[in-house]
Structure 1
Amino acid sequence: MKEDFLHYLWKFKKFDTLNLKTSNQEEITISNVGQYLELAGPDFFNAQITIGSQKWAGNVEIHLKSSDWYVHHHEKDAGYENVILHVVWEHDSEIYRSNNTEIPVLELKNYVGTTTVNNYQKLLSPKSWIFCEKQLKEIPKFALINWQERLFFERLERKSKPILELLESTNNDWEAVLFCLLAKNFGLNTNGEIFLKIAQSIPFSVIRKECFEVENLEALLFGSSGLLDVEKEDNYFKDLKFRYYYLLHKYQIEKSCIEPVQFFKHRPDNFPTIRLSQLANLYHKQQNLFSKISDLNSLEAIYEVFSVSVAPYWQTHYQFDKESPKKKKALSQSFLDLIVLNTIIPLQFAYAKSQGKEISEDLINILNDVEPEKNSIIDKFSSFGLKAKSAFETQSLLQLKNEYCNKSKCLECAIGMELLKSN
């Protein structure tokens, strides 16, 4: 048994509250269990309890055994002077404050039903992947749907933090933030951080001014990536290189030292040359891009805005100097779905939050139209009976696995709590 189970019992009053008595046989009446604090200090703050005929307001500390009070040296900590009740599973020692006054103790095991304890032990039985893997099919559908929504928005809250940091670094320029986020996601896992640094090295005011000539945008992106640092006979390469150094001089931009982009292990359509050209074409075709996407509320509308391919040169090349069969190389639906998941939805969420707007339903509706993600975590949930039908559901499951299952937060999880209630 762990203390978090006792926290759960106390927080939700999952015990017989009508006949409570202290270890000294004084009656206990709980008016308010207090505020659960996951910080240093007592576990529950500002509880209101009547012990005997005396009403108390103060803190509640919870341990598995009474003697843990001394194991944790609380008798020497002034932060525990206002503890009015010590809730334990097993009472094995009287405890005292620093002034030698005794602290009342509630031995909880005498008031908790065997079904609750058995459900807890069953929930935390040895696992092969997650604790509740054999019980997932037992969860009522309505409870699962409500929990999925909360998980989804928890994940969006986490994703919005780096967006707000970018916003601060760009002087609250949402267009510049979008450019940086798109660059990172166009780079995928391998080149994402490098592409982000490339985007951050180019003042977005320059992107705004040069967006009418796609070759200039390519020159800035390719030059900043280091792809123009060599010598080649290719005329398109030479033209981009000339443009790049001209633009550096024109805007007084200092050349950045960024680590080389990676081609290794990428399919040709994901080569950094192709992704950078697509990004350049996007900003050539769609000026004021953030203004266009901030209010989009359908997947089809997003697909339309991002209907771009590469510059003509890259239709017959994957690298400079090496010609290949002609291919349009437009952004694929699977790639656009990644952009929707990792850029558009988090950005819309962060922007709406900053404006005090409520768009939760729109975001869910968009992702309900996006195909479910495919990865080992989603496959594993499917094998245990939780089959995701959309990206909204897969995003929720990823949050569940990473933030709850992996951290054994079963008693903070709606699924775990539902299983504890079962008969």
Structure 2
Amino acid sequence: MLFTEDFLHYVWKFRLFNRIGLYTTDGEELQVYSAGLHNKHAGADFQNARIRIGDETWAGTVELHINSSDWHKHGHSMDGAYDNVILHVVYNHDTPIILPNGRLLPTLELKDRIPGELHHSYHNLVFGKNIVIPCEGSIKRVDPLTMQNWLTRILVERLEKRAEAVTAALEKNRGDWEETFYQFLAANFGFKTNALPFELLAKSLPQNILAKHKNNPMQIEALIFGQAGLLTEGLTDEYAVKLRTEHAYLRKKFNLTPIENHLWKFMRMRPQNFPTIRLAQFAALIVRSTHLFSQILETKEVKNLRELFLGLEIHQYWTDHYRFDKLSPTATKHLGKATVDTLLLNTVALFLFAYGKYTQQQFFVSRALKLLENIPAENNHITANFANLGVNIFTAFESQALLELKNSYCDYKKCLQCGVGIKILKPN
């Protein structure tokens, strides 16, 4: 069976080896007081360990390898950062290691001290022929407290990674949270298919220009559709012609450059999700909302956050149109609850979290997590697979965490860095 260094780290970290009668390879009595803190950066594998060798107690770093000779293969003999290692922990001791100062590096061999059952369980977990995730046969037996604690941790990891993009955009926008929120909200109005053109539209049309025309819905619509590049010369409907005329004036006034209209995708989409309808809804939100991000920061109840997006009054033209100059059966074109929940998940919750982290106000971080607890879980193939394995998924809090679990841990078989994997492997 395969034996990896990650597994050796796991065994040492949780001291899952026979600790009775420990001796170094050169015969000195050894006692481990603390395995130390796992170091995932440059330097020795564990820091701040405490051990006793013979009659002397040591505090410092510990390095782990499969074979003792890996010390030389990994270049540690030429790296001064490893000169102060107090213990070398190996699976197989095949050569003594002499440090540059002439000191014999104390070594602990674990080959005959690791329970075979533990190694067998690890091998089946990481190298087994599983289809969905490595622990698919065991995850439903993990206790709810362990699962909840781990999902909370990796949900925060997911939000922290996504918040980095917010911070980067904030810097480009010179610290303007409203402008940054507006750009991200626009991108999420396009969902995956039209996220890019929506984002480019927002960047081509700064929010301060829209703010000057909030009292004139026609001008807001002209700016939105005009900058989207959709007010082409061939349009004949009165509404479209008015928008085109208005946009021509505003474009010249503010020296605006529309985006290319070929970027918008209509194919294989339900008409309700056509970019023209989303743009009309986005325009209606701009008309109704002033300083939307500030409103969100001040709105504490989830139901009130939803109300900021529900019931948008889009222009009556879209009641019987999905595209310019093409009549369609009459239908309501409001944002649906599911769409609003997606915007709350991908934009509002993210920005509450990012703002809380940036300003060091835990209150907003907690509000972001609470918001996710009040949004229904996403339904996709990943969440469906977890549900089939017996994992309870009720809210976006859980579904977002499980997406992170699958994409950042399960797909890379990082079972020994996963709270669920550790719980499954840990002896009772």
Same topology, TM > 0.5: yes
* 1:80 to 1:56, Cα distance in 2 relative to 1, 3 A: same
- The residue number in structure 2 matching 1:342 is 346
8 A Cα contact 1:88 1:107, kept in partner: yes
- 1:7-406 alignment runs, 5 A limit: 7-17=9-19, 19-98=21-100, 100-124=102-126, 125-255=128-258, 260-307=263-310, 308-359=312-363, 360-406=365-411
SS at match of 1:84: strand
Gapped regions of structure 1 (runs ≥ 5): none
Amino acid at match of 2:381: S
CA distance in 2, matches of 1:363, 1:189: 22
CA distance in 2, matches of 1:107, 1:205: 67
Give the fraction of aligned pairs with identical amino acids, expressed as a percent: 38
RMSD over equivalenced CA pairs, Å: 2.1
Amino acid at match of 2:290: Q
CA distance in 1, matches of 2:373, 2:258: 43
Moved over 4 A (4+): 254-259
Please state how far the C-alpha of 1:257 moved relative to its aligned partner: 5.3
- The farther-off stretch of 291-300 and 390-399 is 291-300
TM-score, normalised to structure 1, is: 0.93
8 A Cα contact 2:90 2:109, kept in partner: yes
Amino acid at match of 2:115: G
Amino acid at match of 2:134: F
Please state how far the C-alpha of 1:67 moved relative to its aligned partner: 1.9
Amino acid at match of 1:328: T
SS at match of 2:298: coil
SS at match of 1:406: helix
Summarize deviations over 1:20-54 as a string: whole Å, max 9, x none.
Answer: 21111112233443332222332123433332233
8 A Cα contact 2:214 2:286, kept in partner: yes
Please state how far the C-alpha of 1:268 moved relative to its aligned partner: 0.6
Summarize deviations over 1:381-418 as a string: whole Å, max 9, x none.
Answer: 11111131122211111111111111211111111111
Aligned length: 423
CA distance in 2, matches of 1:270, 1:332: 11
Please state how far the C-alpha of 1:208 moved relative to its aligned partner: 1.4
8 A Cα contact 2:200 2:259, kept in partner: no
8 A Cα contact 2:231 2:240, kept in partner: yes
* 1:45 to 1:259, Cα distance in 2 relative to 1, 3 A: farther
- The residue number in structure 1 matching 2:413 is 408
Summarize deviations over 1:41-91 as a string: whole Å, max 9, x none.
Answer: 321234333322334343221111112223323223333222222111111
8 A Cα contact 1:225 1:260, kept in partner: no
Amino acid at match of 2:292: L
TM-score, normalised to structure 2, is: 0.92
Amino acid at match of 2:409: Y
